Amino acid sequence: MATKLFLALLAICRLIIAVGLTLDPSELLRLGVDESLRLSFEPEDIKEASIDFGGLKRAEPLAIFRPNSAHDVARLVRVVYESSHGFTVSARGHGHSINGQAMTKDGVVIEMSNGEGGNFETIVSEKLMYVDVWGGELWIDVLRSTLEYGLAPKSWTDYLYLSVGGTLSNAGISGQAFNHGPQINNVFQLDVVTGKGELLTCSEDEHSELYHAVLGGLGQFGIITRARIALEPAPQRVRWIRVLYSNFSAFTKDQEYLISLQTNKKFDYVEGFVIVDEGLINNWRSSFFSPSNPVKISSIIKDNGGRGALYCLEITKNYDHTNAHSIDEVMIYNSK
């Protein structure tokens, strides 16, 4: 099928060159791509795919593609690869790239997070402690699926409304990274569509070069269509503490100490960040403070010489009903 489409597209291109016909690029794309592939040329869809979270760049694609399966992605990439027109393809998750990485000018944007009607089943293995998920699945939905089995991925990002393929194409770093590494360190296996339109399964033992290139590869080595993610038992309860610092050296010293603990009482999550005076009320991190806290924090910043910044350590300790009585003792022990 792909060969026939390629020959048809090549004939059209030769006709254009030979007789000087003009043809809109989107029409050329329509003629070269199988009708069963779900392409959209609607202005609203084009506009949405032309911007991302960073807002720094803009690039208008010719079309938007909404796949029903990994094979759809492979077919589209293969047709584009075999065409002589020079179309480009870019995979887009939830649109949270910050420098236009999910855009492509005059090409095709694949909407990986659009799962309506698609064959994107999430499979949880309790015995082998993993979950198989579609590359466009959001982490929040992965968590909802695994929690039904009392399990959860080992490593997260802070914000869970991101796609699996998107974070695995970067690194996926959060407060668990000092324990488990980033998300790319907790992947057993991947299905990847290469730039030639091949759909390959890769792991440490199978197509390992592709496996390591795609994980953290910024989307330059293939499109992740499935990921097998490592799981662990989900905690029943979590003790959550935030500590504010005005001294940067004290802040970093304590953070390094907390992540260096090797006892079984060590924390499960350690992360540090900066709090600035501007936008405290509306900052998404500030939503975790009580309504009176932003005012108090602003006051502390002013008392700190008006330098406009504080530092915060966010730490958690997982526990359950069997050791709930001793959690305070553990927290005090770790904080010494």
Among 96, 137, 141, 254, the one annotated catalytic: 96
User: For this structure, is 198 an active site residue?
Assistant: no
> What residue has token string 């069963």?
36
**Which of 297, 295, 249, 296 lies closest to 276 in space, CA to CA?**
297
Is the CB of residue 5 less than 8 Å from the CB of residue 34? yes
In order, the DSSP letters of 165-214 are HHHHTT----TTHHHH--GGGSEEEEEEE-TTS-EEEEESSSSHHHHHHH
User: For this structure, is 321 an active site residue?
Assistant: no
Among 111, 137, 254, 271, the one annotated catalytic: 271
Among 158, 204, 320, 328, the one annotated catalytic: 158
- Give the whole-angstrom CA distance, residue 9 versus residue 29: 8
Any idea what DSSP says for residue 234? Answer: P
Tokens of 269: 């999550």
Backbone phi, psi, residue 283, to 5°: -65, 135
User: For this structure, is 180 an active site residue?
Assistant: no
> What residue has token string 């043809």?
23
Give the residue numbers marked as catalytic: 96, 158, 271
